[in-house]
Amino acid sequence: MAGEGMRIKREVKAKIKIKIRISICVLSTVCCLLSAIPVSSEENPCLLCHSRFSVIAKAVHAPLGMGCETCHQPEKGMEHPQQKGSMKLVRDVPALCYGCHDESKFNGKFVHFPVSMGTCTGCHNPHQSEFSKILISVPPNLCYSCHENKATKKYVHAPAATGQCLTCHNSHVSGNTALLMSPVNKLCTDCHPGHATGIHILAGLQGAHPVKGRPDPSRPGRNMSCASCHDPHNSDFPKLMLQKGLCQRCHKY
């Protein structure tokens, strides 16, 4: 009986500890949410004019809960809001952004043009947004504001057809051309593992066609890759082929 009593006591203590941990997690979550919610206009006079920030959006930039003065400051000798330009950023973008975000993560061999120009707000809302990562809109529409829609032809690659640009491309920097997540052949064979050998090109015939490590006759200065024959976005030809009679681009017969 004594052993049974000790077991019950241990179980009760364990349940109490679990409840305490759950309570701490809930309290921590609530505190984090509250820290992101803009305060009232009585506490923050900026909200008297900028009332839209009193309504919290789905994604809120952390500094919004830290106070407007985190990023904004009055211009000396000018009255706000009477005079235009009476408020300015503490530092210009992107230096202001790099005060919190690690700049080294935005440097690389290939850099997305908006990043290279320091126009972070070309894609991100600096305050809050209804879209994740405080984007001003969601891909692919965000991408199409600068890039041509690559899902308009008869045959469309699945990621392009569903607007999954970020499945293949990094939005900021990459060590691979075209901001690819990984080298082109690896990226393709992650989804198409059976085509890594080149046997699919000569199906039914002996041997395999080179798909890497050989110069591409149709693209001087570049090596063979999946993109030597297939368009990665869309095509007017089956299998996303680049053209009709594709073999004749390299083979003369």
C-alpha pair distances (Å), 167 with each of 159, 160, 187: 7, 9, 10
Give the angle 118-123-129 at the CA atoms, nearest 5°: 130
Q: What is the pLDDT of residue 65?
A: 86
Helix (H) and strand (E) counts for the chain? 5, 8
Q: 3-class secondary structure for 3-55?
A: HHHHHHHHHHHHHHHHHHHHHHHHHHHHHHHHHHCCCCCCCCHHHHCCHHHHC
In Å, how far from its chain's centre is CA 180? Answer: 12
Give the C-alpha separation, 132 to 10, whole Å.
Answer: 44
Among 229, 230, 235, 226, which Cα is nearest to 189's? 226
pLDDT of 205 reads: 75
Q: 52-80 burial by CB neighbour count: b if 16+ within 10 A, else e?
A: ebeeebebbbebbbeebebbeeeeeeeee
Q: CA-to-CA distance for 228 and 158, rounded, in angstroms?
A: 19
73 within 8 A of 145, measured Cβ to Cβ: no
- pLDDT score recorded for residue 129: 97
124 closest CA partner among 150, 147, 101: 101
Q: What is the model's pLDDT at position 204?
A: 76
- Residue-by-residue DSSP string for 152-188: -SSEE-HHHHTT-GGGTB-SSEESSGGGBSS-HHHHH
User: What is the mean pLDDT of each successive set of 10 residues along the chain, which is 253 residues long?
Assistant: 53 51 43 46 79 91 91 94 93 96 96 97 96 96 95 96 96 97 96 91 83 92 94 97 92 81
